[in-house]
Amino acid sequence: MTSQYAYFQVTGCGDPGVVTKAVGIDPSSCNSSAEINPKTKCPWGVMKWRLDSGEPDDASVQQHVDSILLWLNRRPSAVKELCDEYDLTLHICCRASDTFGMHLTRDQTRLLGQLGIAIDYDGYVDDRKTIECEL
C-alpha cells in the first residue's frame, strides 16, 4: 500500500502574515521564528508558512501537486516576488511497503520553475528508512 502527500512551504525571516497577505490564502499551519516549538521547547528559529494539498493520502502525486498549484497560480506574480525574501519549496512524501516512484507532468514542472519553487521529495519504505531525492 502506498500513501502520499504534498505541501508547499515558505521559510525565512519575518511574519507569516506577510505570506498570507501576498498569496491570499490562509495557511494550513504557520509559525514565526520566535514561536516555541512544542517538541523541543526552543524557538523555531525560522518562519514557516505551510499549505497542505487537501487531497487524501491515496490520491496521486499529480493530484496533490495540481491542488497546490491551483491555489498558487491565482496570484503567480505575488508568489514569484516571495522568492526575493523567502525560500519556496514543494514537499512531496511517499510511504510504501515496497518500491515506488513519482511523476510530475511537464506543465507542473514548468509552472513550479516559473514560480521559483524548489522540489523536495522524501520516500519512506516499510522500515521507515528515508530515501531523499532532490529534484
**pLDDT tens readout for residues 15-50:** 999 999 999 999 999 999 999 889 999 998 999 999
Q: Phi and psi of 50, rounded to 5°?
A: -125, 135
Rounded distance, CA 10 to CA 85, Å?
10
pTM for the predicted model, two decimal places: 0.85
What is the share, in percent, of the chain residues with pLDDT greater than 70? 92
Residue 45's H or E segment, with its range, is: none
Cell 502527500 belongs to residue: 5
| 118-133: pLDDT as tens digits | 999 988 886 655 555 5
Q: Which three cell numbers stand for residue 65?
A: 501537486
Q: How many CA atoms lie within 13 A of 4 on its CB side?
A: 22
DSSP string of 73-131, one letter each residue: TTSHHHHHHHTTTSEEEEEEEEEESS-------HHHHHHHHHHT-EEEEEEEETT--EE
pLDDT, residue 126, reads 65
Note the pLDDT of residue 132. Answer: 53
Rg of the chain over all Cα atoms, to the nearest angstrom: 15
pLDDT score at 127: 61
Whether 52 and 7 have beta carbons less than 8 Å apart is answered as: yes
Is residue 72 scored above 60 in pLDDT?
Answer: yes
Q: Measured between alpha carbons, how far is 116 from 83 in angstroms, rounded to an integer?
A: 6
Domains of the chain, residue spans: 2-9+50-134
Average pLDDT over residues 96-104: 78
The CA distance from 13 to 8, in Å, is 17
